[in-house]
Structure 1
Amino acid sequence: MSKGNILLIEDDLTYSKIIKTFLEKHGFNITSTTKISDAYALIEKEKFNLVITDYRLPDGTGMEVLENIIAKNAEIRVILITNYSDIRTAVKSMKLGAFEYITKPVNPDELLATVQEALKAKPKPKETPKISDPVAPKPKSSIYVIGRSPSAVQLEQYISLVAPTEMSVMVLGESGTGKEFVSKRIHEKSKRSSGPFVAIDCGALSKELAGSELFGHVKGAFTGALENKTGSFELANNGTIFLDEIGNLSYEVQIKLLRAIQERKIKKIGGNKDIPVDVRIIVATNEDLSELAKKGEFREDLFHRLNEFSLKATPLRERVEDLFHYADIFLTDANKNLEKDVTGFSEEVKEIFKNYGWPGNLRELKNIIKRAVLLTGEGDIQKEALPVDLMLPQNSSSQTNGSKDLKSSFEEQEKAMIIKTLNEVKHNKSKAAKILNIDRKTLYNKLEKYGID
């Protein structure tokens, strides 16, 4: 009897066969394909519990597969397979709704445990709030751990200072640094803590639907608007709304957002009635919004409204004092979840952790420890339980300490990735741009920049 129907999207036929054979031996029913277009056709015809997809595919990326499934088949879980060069993308995939990501080379035990965990997890379909919803559900208290580094201590002091006020807050920081946790912490220490906390990832909103998600719409406002919808601002009334990746909002939605802040009123898409809202706004970004405002790509008046007080979530590589503080917490969690008895980290592993650059920050640290606990079982984690990429010189923290070194390292990796992709598609620039998830103009600019023929 099959333990679950799994769709595998992998264009490396040897790799695909190995994964397929391994999972079938453990009782899973596997359907494999090499292209995204074929995968979509299969999903229309058959019922799948899980999709395992490589990130780089001939006709697109695993991120596109994830976004499509979230929009149309939210009951299907998605596991993304990535290389370590795509670690930031992997972190973003978790924010968008991926169940988990695993890195190549895939460890069989890790793959099996992740698949079993994904199929056990209850699906979380996307629900459209009804207009009758009085308020959004109140959040459970977030598990927030205060770091020990000077920057973490200062961050907590700033949170305590700004939380009781009504000031709009901008949280700055790289992906994976815990910006949403910081925002929840502000909410929980504020006078609005008994009200709702509503988090929206603006990077996951399409330009067409962003206005509807934020402000709601009335039935018949546009094609597909089959019923009234309550927007996030109305759901967050008397509480806090958290807008992540705020820089992704279109200029038109920025205007509506500015009006909501200034007048404390919103208007549904297609509606003619003003709805009063009492909402505190916290936004997060890993972009330089002040620079975007100067270029005219982000409204300057909106930027100043949102930036009444700013906080920075420091990247993990810049606060070594917190590294093992969080590592111990993640180790305890992994032991509990995987029912293992791992006692700690070998001295060699500690040294590797100290020298690694942690581009995926806390999310990456958590995943690596979870994987290592699974492979170790008991005793201390040894070097052999870590992904080999952690030991590569280009991934060391010394490569990320200075902006010049970071830029140089990034450009070398980017150039190598472009050359590799061009060779794979026999220099078809349209295909290369699609695989690299950039437009043709950007690709041509990079070819010129790096002197690639």
Structure 2
Amino acid sequence: MERILIVDDDITFALMLRTWLAKRGFDVESVGSVAAARTALAKGSYSLVLSDMRLPDEDGIALLQWMSGEGIAAPVIVMTSYAEIQNAVRSMKLGARDYVAKPVNPDELLKKIREALEASAASESFELAERSARGERTEKAEKGVRGTRDSVEPLNYIEGRSDAARQLYEYVRLVAPTNMSVLVNGASGTGKEHVAQLIHRGSKRAGKPFVAVDCGAIPRELAASEFFGHVKGSFTGALTDKVGAFEAANGGTLFLDEVGNLTYETQVQLLRALQERRIRRVGSTREIPVDIRLVTATNENLEAAIVRGSFRADLFHRINEFTLRMPELREMRGDILLFADFFLDQANRELGKHIVGFDAEAVAALTRCEWPGNLRQLKNAVKSATLLASGDYITCRELPAEVTAATPAAPSFSLRDPASEEEQIRRALSAAGGNKSQAAKLLGIDRKTLYNKLHLYGIE
């Protein structure tokens, strides 16, 4: 049975919440202060912590900091009547899984609790795979085995809390342990390679090589050599034997970025290698068996490319056993400040700065920008502003002009035309970053009506 610790000095509310959760199968305890929470967490193991932000002795931030210092990994959901963005961002940076405002919607809270517990279980699986991978690499090093390209850069990221981000990472956790070929489809700057690395780390191949190839950067005449390797003297410039990407990734994951840029001839060679699971170096007659898990990425519409005749349909079906669509940043508008604050922490470390955050005008500019360059553009904008900032907070003066000049008109929504009702609802949800209450306001309807229409149209 999952154990939950409630930290709230409102005795009546805590008792009601404790009783309600107990009826749903949880083992629940409650305390009324940060000091009491520390004592309870030090004595016992809990699956999740529900903590109020304002407590009589300290606040929820102090509890998160203490848990982090003690290495207590239980997910935390912070509850507060003071739903301020800066506090939400700060608590999530310190490890909070989620942030909900009082009065708490019971069904919404239960959903967040279950998501947090599932994510915690998945995280433990990822960590076990990582420990196994580190152990295997250490063993190889001790035996003097020379690695090729089997290292994966440490993942430095934060998961968004919007509906679009949650769905993406849920799909990643589902597909990662399988051996399915995954096509990651998304615009430039959305983090496709990051997701490919997550898939590798969550798979049974985590201790094996992860090899990334940028298909858009390979000269046509060298494509076969890059993928399959070559033997010395096989062509002008082949001064030594070379191991290709397939061979280097043997046993692990091969990631092909911008796969839509491959020439038709290279697509034929790639398809043959994937079908036969054998490759032959350029200039060699010896076939080499390979065992790889393929993850590809593109910002193109490959189905349209098939119609144009520039991409092979049989290769598309071979690489597309499962598709992940990367949401654009404007679809995760509720996460923009969370990502911005995360990138600010990175920039502070890299530049030796100590910027605290963003002032109100900068926050408004960040959240209204459309971010055509997605997370990459946001990261660059924050880093540049961090370098220029001279005070404690980043202001609009330090942000790039394309960010501060972005003042799109407020979107207009109407449900008067039944033929476009579903599309209007989807647009409103996107504009609100998945926040259903905000979407209902944009549509001019109440939350209950919106939920009924979501059910009617089968919108998640």
TM-score relative to the length of structure 2: 0.56
Matches of 2:202 and 2:229 in 1, distance apart? 28
Matches of 1:170 and 1:253 in 2, distance apart? 18
- Residue 145 of structure 1 corresponds to 158
Q: Does 2:170 match 1:157? A: yes
* Paired residue type of 1:236: A
Q: Is the 8 A contact 1:135 1:237 kept in 2?
A: no
Counterpart among 198, 204, 218 of residue 217 in structure 2 = 204
Larger relative contact order (Cα-Cα within 8 Å, sequence gap ≥ 6):
1
- Residue 184 of structure 1 corresponds to 197
Q: Does 2:185 match 1:172? A: yes
Counterpart among 335, 348, 352 of residue 322 in structure 1 = 335
- Residue 302 of structure 2 corresponds to 289
* Paired residue type of 2:399: L
| Structure 2 counterpart SS, 1:384 | coil
Question: Where does the alignment leave 5 or more consecutive residues of structure 1 unmatched?
Answer: 1-131, 404-453
Matches of 1:138 and 1:392 in 2, distance apart? 41
Specify whether residues 397 and 235 from structure 1 end up closer, same or farther in structure 2 by C-alpha distance, changes over 3 A only.
farther
Matches of 2:259 and 2:351 in 1, distance apart? 36
Matches of 2:409 and 2:281 in 1, distance apart? 48
Specify whether residues 141 and 374 from structure 1 end up closer, same or farther in structure 2 by C-alpha distance, changes over 3 A only.
closer
Q: Does 2:320 match 1:307? A: yes
Counterpart among 263, 268, 277 of residue 276 in structure 2 = 263
Shift of 1:390: 2.0
Specify whether residues 203 and 239 from structure 1 end up closer, same or farther in structure 2 by C-alpha distance, changes over 3 A only.
same
Q: Does 2:348 match 1:335? A: yes
| Structure 1 counterpart SS, 2:295 | strand
Matches of 1:318 and 1:287 in 2, distance apart? 19
Q: Does 2:311 match 1:298? A: yes
Matches of 2:371 and 2:274 in 1, distance apart? 37
Counterpart among 355, 361, 375 of residue 374 in structure 2 = 361
Identity among equivalent positions (%) equals 50
- Residue 378 of structure 1 corresponds to 391
Matches of 2:156 and 2:350 in 1, distance apart? 16
Please give the residue correspondences for 1:4-403 in structure 2 after superposition, counting only pairs within 5 Å: 135-393=148-406, 396=408
Detail structure 1 runs of 4+ shifted over 6 Å in the superposition. none
Specify whether residues 365 and 223 from structure 1 end up closer, same or farther in structure 2 by C-alpha distance, changes over 3 A only.
same
Matches of 1:397 and 1:141 in 2, distance apart? 40
Q: Is the 8 A contact 2:150 2:249 kept in 1?
A: no
Listed one character per residue, the Cα deviations across residues 323-376 of structure 1 (whole Å, up to 9, x for unaligned) are: 111111111111122121211111111111112111111111111111111111
Matches of 1:305 and 1:137 in 2, distance apart? 24
Q: Is the 8 A contact 1:356 1:397 kept in 2?
A: no
Count of residue correspondences: 269
The structure with more radius of gyration: 2
Specify whether residues 335 and 214 from structure 1 end up closer, same or farther in structure 2 by C-alpha distance, changes over 3 A only.
same
Matches of 1:145 and 1:208 in 2, distance apart? 39
Q: Is the 8 A contact 1:169 1:307 kept in 2?
A: yes
Matches of 1:255 and 1:249 in 2, distance apart? 10
| Structure 2 counterpart SS, 1:187 | helix
Matches of 1:377 and 1:311 in 2, distance apart? 41
Matches of 1:159 and 1:302 in 2, distance apart? 22
TM-score relative to the length of structure 1: 0.57
Q: Is the 8 A contact 2:396 2:404 kept in 1?
A: no
Matches of 1:231 and 1:206 in 2, distance apart? 15
Matches of 1:369 and 1:360 in 2, distance apart? 13
Matches of 2:393 and 2:147 in 1, distance apart? 51
Question: Where does the alignment leave 5 or more consecutive residues of structure 2 unmatched?
Answer: 1-144, 414-422, 424-460
| Structure 1 counterpart SS, 2:392 | strand
Specify whether residues 397 and 196 from structure 1 end up closer, same or farther in structure 2 by C-alpha distance, changes over 3 A only.
farther
Shift of 1:378: 3.2
Matches of 2:148 and 2:292 in 1, distance apart? 12
| Structure 2 counterpart SS, 1:383 | coil
Shift of 1:398: 6.8
Specify whether residues 267 and 398 from structure 1 end up closer, same or farther in structure 2 by C-alpha distance, changes over 3 A only.
farther
